[in-house]
Structure 1
Amino acid sequence: MTADVWLPVPADEIEGLPEGFTYLFWDGAPDFPGDPARCVFYGVPYMKGQEIAVRPLPRMTAVRVVQTLTAGIDHVLPALGALPPGVRLCNARGVHEASTAELALTLTLASLRGIPGFVRRQDAGEWRPEFRPALADKSVLIVGYGAIGSAIEDRLAPFECARVARVARSGRATERGPVHPVADLPALLPDADVVILSTPLTDATRGLVGADFLSHMKDGALLVNVARGAVVDTKALLAEVESGRLHAALDVTDPEPLPAGHPLWRAPGTLITPHVGGPTSAFLPRAKRLLSAQLNRFAAQESLENVVATTG
């Protein structure tokens, strides 16, 4: 018998899948598509939440690869202890850069140019021009300079920013300039007009943007979060935006989904979108190409791309 591969996209919609596997479609439905113990390659359902993502894992005794369709793997990582040794966890690097970077720029421009207020006035039929800040001549700090952070800088290039600074877990040199370590944040934050968060959620980044981080941001600065909600201390951020000292544009929140009546919804100078950085028309073609490429590597016993953890 052939081994099973569980895919979050129907196999007949993916070109170039290798032969030799039984492909089963599972997008998080209550019933499993087959016996989890026969699955060797698990494509995690997309945007279905942690509970669904990890539900079959304890029964996947033969699995060798867990492939997410998200850049972050925090929703799967805690369940790896239930898997046998040698299972590779792969993320979706290369799938979300275009969409997420596009949204980061959208949130930045919409917030700076006051688009939410103009939309509300359009609903009320009010014509009220006002002077707004531009992105041109602003200093931007990208916190989390991986594939998404780099893609954000690509899209900032035409906007005549005065400066783009980069921060990652560790410092390094790039063709665009230095990437600073996290330890340099206190020195970099006071010069940034816009701070864009694109870092993964890890033990080191959880709560990174707390009261101390925010206190180093200049008056009137904009915080843009397209990373994970828990990177930001919500209580500390609320104190800053409610005072009017800082502004925020958030695609992710903590808690998430943001409950009705939560004070973030009505916080002044705050723009919120419901975690839509990834799910666009750009997602599915890239996701299908990734699944096909990874399965062909797996079938040929070649090294996989985007391996972020291996069970021991």
Structure 2
Amino acid sequence: MSSLDRSDDQRAARFLLPYPASDVRGLPHGLPVTVWDGESSPPDAESLAAVEFFVVPYGHTDAAVPVLASTPRLRVVQSLSAGVEDLAHHVPVGVTLCNARGVHDSSTAELAVSLALASLRGIPDFVRGQDLQEWRTGFRPALADRTVLLIGYGSIAAAIEARLIPFECEFLRVARTARSSPRGPVHALDELPELLPQADVVILTLPLTAETRGLVDARLLALMPDRSLLVNVSRGAVVVTDALLAELTAGRLHAALDVTDPEPLPSGHPLWGAPHTLISPHVGGNSSAFLPRALRLIRSQILHHLAGEPLENVVLPRKT
């Protein structure tokens, strides 16, 4: 029996969304929705008591955590982030947590390619030169003919690879376990010591888990070739910051980082001034590509939920 077929007292179950139902095209007419953007005060206790499906406003996990504890009928939490490590341990037992796999692929892939190109071709130096009205020339490495190692080969890494193919790169792919993919073999994480010395550009798209926290440490960084580039668009804590700083300060490696540890990066932190380092403020998913993909996911998940069908992108299944 679908949610729309329930009796009147059950039909009071509500959907707490960051957008009006009218923005999410294709939802059933009259769907009981409460809108909360994560910036204003949360709905009152009476409204929260009826919520069964909660879409966490993007970028407002901290504000959403207290709401989780005030929704006794909650059944589904839909995150709009690809990574849910800051949310997962707050989700009540018995509630299904879903991530936003696929929503950020295009936007994050664009940024990863932009960071790699900008770093290799010296764009930050050109910008500084323009500010000083200096004509700065010099030899720069191209992305063409580079070997790119994608660590964390999921949907975002596949999107990065698709955008890099026209740049005439060679690719190595790594995931937690080895498998095949339409574009070629995917190696296991334990093969990194053999693969890193072959890579000119290493792009990180790993989720942050107990297994990946601190994965890119001094030992693995030492295996990267001189003047190779590390691009991190995953989570800052995947990389051991002090170990990366040592390599950057020595001038041996280059880095382009959309994420850092700590984050936000505080004023005065040595990463700001590290040589051959380009930093963006965790904006991989924050572009015009986000909203239409987020709305499509919300629509699909709500329709699955109403029909009693399995949800997509389940991270934590219901325990009861």
User: So what's the TM-score if we normalise by structure 2?
Assistant: 0.93
1:92 is aligned to 100
1:61 is aligned to 72
Whether contact under 8 Å (2:258, 2:283) holds in the other structure is yes
Whether contact under 8 Å (1:137, 1:160) holds in the other structure is yes
- Name the SS for the 1:56 alignment partner: helix
Counterparts of 1:23 and 1:140, CA distance in 2: 45
Counterparts of 2:111 and 2:118, CA distance in 1: 10
2:167 is aligned to 159
Structure 2 counterparts to residues 74-113 of structure 1, below 5 A: 74-80=85-91, 83-85=92-94, 87-113=95-121
Q: Residue 157 of structure 1 aligns to which amino acid in structure 2?
A: I
Counterparts of 1:171 and 1:18, CA distance in 2: 42
Counterparts of 1:18 and 1:304, CA distance in 2: 18
Whether contact under 8 Å (1:18, 1:299) holds in the other structure is no
Counterparts of 1:203 and 1:260, CA distance in 2: 28
Counterparts of 1:181 and 1:18, CA distance in 2: 44
Counterparts of 2:75 and 2:282, CA distance in 1: 30
Q: Residue 220 of structure 2 aligns to which amino acid in structure 1?
A: F
1:201 is aligned to 208
- 1:40 matched to 2:52? The reply is yes
Counterparts of 1:106 and 1:53, CA distance in 2: 32
2:269 is aligned to 262
2:287 is aligned to 280
1:227 is aligned to 234
Counterparts of 1:177 and 1:306, CA distance in 2: 24
2:296 is aligned to 289
Counterparts of 2:93 and 2:199, CA distance in 1: 46
2:3 is aligned to none
Q: Which moved more, 1:53-62 or 1:246-255?
A: 53-62
- 1:120 matched to 2:132? The reply is no
Number of aligned residue pairs: give it.
307
Q: Residues 229-266 of structure 1: CA distance to partner in whole angstroms, max 9, x if unpaired?
A: 11111111111101100000000011111111111111
Q: Residue 72 of structure 1 aligns to which amino acid in structure 2?
A: G
- Name the SS for the 1:245 alignment partner: coil
1:296 Cα offset (Å): 0.8
Whether contact under 8 Å (1:142, 1:197) holds in the other structure is yes
2:38 is aligned to 28
Counterparts of 2:107 and 2:160, CA distance in 1: 10
Q: Residue 66 of structure 2 aligns to which amino acid in structure 1?
A: R
1:30 Cα offset (Å): 4.9
Q: Which moved more, 1:50-59 or 1:60-69?
A: 50-59
Counterparts of 1:122 and 1:234, CA distance in 2: 31
% same residue: 58
Whether contact under 8 Å (1:61, 1:84) holds in the other structure is no
Whether contact under 8 Å (2:55, 2:77) holds in the other structure is yes
- 1:183 matched to 2:193? The reply is no
1:155 Cα offset (Å): 0.6
1:29 Cα offset (Å): 3.2
Counterparts of 2:310 and 2:237, CA distance in 1: 32
1:19 Cα offset (Å): 4.2
1:32 Cα offset (Å): 1.6
- Name the SS for the 2:256 alignment partner: strand
Q: Residues 63-89 of structure 1: CA distance to partner in whole angstroms, max 9, x if unpaired?
A: 111000111111211112xx142x211
1:207 Cα offset (Å): 0.6
- Name the SS for the 1:279 alignment partner: coil
Whether contact under 8 Å (1:242, 1:268) holds in the other structure is yes
5+ unaligned residues in a row in structure 1: which ranges? none
Counterparts of 2:28 and 2:247, CA distance in 1: 53
Counterparts of 2:193 and 2:64, CA distance in 1: 37
- Name the SS for the 1:59 alignment partner: coil
Whether contact under 8 Å (1:65, 1:88) holds in the other structure is yes
Q: Residues 166-214 of structure 1: CA distance to partner in whole angstroms, max 9, x if unpaired?
A: 0000000112111000000000000100000001111100111111110
1:12 Cα offset (Å): 2.3
Q: Residues 204-230 of structure 1: CA distance to partner in whole angstroms, max 9, x if unpaired?
A: 001111111101111111000000111
Whether contact under 8 Å (2:21, 2:31) holds in the other structure is no
Q: Which moved more, 1:174-183 or 1:17-26?
A: 17-26
